[in-house]
Amino acid sequence: MQKLEQSYGTGVLFVLLATLGWSLSGVFVRLMPGLDGWQLNCWRGFWTGVALLIYLISVYGRDTFRKFAEVPKIALLSSALFFSVGSTLYVSSLTMVSTATVSVIGATSPLFIGLLGPLVTGEKAGVESWVAAGLAVLGVGIIAGDGLEAGEWLGLLMCLGVPMLFAGQTLALRKYRDFDMVPAICFGGFLTFLFAGFMGFSAGHPGGGFDVGGREVALLAAMGLLQLAIPLMFYIRGAVSVPAITLCLIAMLDAVINPLWPWLIVGETPNQAAFVGGSIVIGAVLISIFGRQIFLIRSRAAEG
């Protein structure tokens, strides 16, 4: 195992690039209005797995499968399951409650990381991280406030699993940052393909989630590459040098960036709440990125 060396600033840049890629989800989904969540998730997972496998082969060649074996089994399985189940719950919850509700509950993931981080990675969240996490929840709540709904208890329960699993995924990547974790996510992509594909039969599709036309398969190949595979590689690299709670808070920028693409592409102007809430989320992310660094600089200056 070769330990990866990387600066904090480079890690932050990688996570920002990952978030930018994730924010393309709404644009891709708009291009495939005839597909449900199982179909989207099935083939998006498949092409994500394919893209990551091609990447691994291009980097490691004949040693690719040895790289799968190098990742500790608990890390491989947990990361793959966090990714696969989290993606599936996300899709399922969207069929039961509003996107706004999913966004608001999803914004609580930094809070789970703050609570679990000391136990899993030994990283304790500072005061600035808790402040940033609270602001992120508030900002996303303002953005999505107009669309909040009570929802069914099952949908809300599934929705609650989304931030918990994303937090688990982030903590796993951070804990095992000395390993290349791309093989684990690659495995998770193929698990998602199978799980969402077979669950698609429950939605009444004769071919399950696998039942998708050629045009949509091509679009989902682009989505798997641009919106998921490449961003995940950036996120995994970011986890090498960025604390877990900061990783997650930067990812919350997705709630800010996602509405901008329809604005730029089809002229769908965001409402005032999107600008107000977005400003708060950006402020929270800046506090998370720079707050700890400023605190450390001041502490060293005081000691000196």
Domain ranges for the chain: 8-303
Residue in 201, 187, 212, 208 with CA at minimum distance from that of residue 43: 212
Map tokens 């700890």 to a residue: 292
Residue 216: per-residue pLDDT: 94
Residue 129: per-residue pLDDT: 77
Higher pLDDT: 73 or 104? It is: 73
Structure tokens at 87: 């993606």
CA distance 19 to 227: 9
Residue 148: per-residue pLDDT: 60
CA distance 144 to 66: 45
Residue 61: per-residue pLDDT: 95
Question: pLDDT by residue (tens digit) across 120-140?
Answer: 888 877 777 788 888 888 887
* Total length of the chain: 304
Over residues 30-41, mean pLDDT: 86
State in Å, rounded, how far the first CA of the chain is from the last one. 37
Q: Would you call 176 helix, strand, or coil by DSSP?
A: coil
Question: pLDDT by residue (tens digit) across 179-216?
Answer: 999 999 999 999 999 999 998 898 788 899 999 999 99
Q: By the 8 A CB rule, do 55 and 182 touch?
A: yes
Residue 281: per-residue pLDDT: 81
Interacting residues of 150 by C-beta distance below 8 A, sequence separation 6+: none
Residue 30: per-residue pLDDT: 77
Average pLDDT of the chain? 84
Question: pLDDT by residue (tens digit) across 231-289?
Answer: 999 999 999 999 888 898 888 888 778 777 767 776 666 667 767 877 888 888 888 77
pLDDT class for 81, splitting at 50, 70, 90? very high
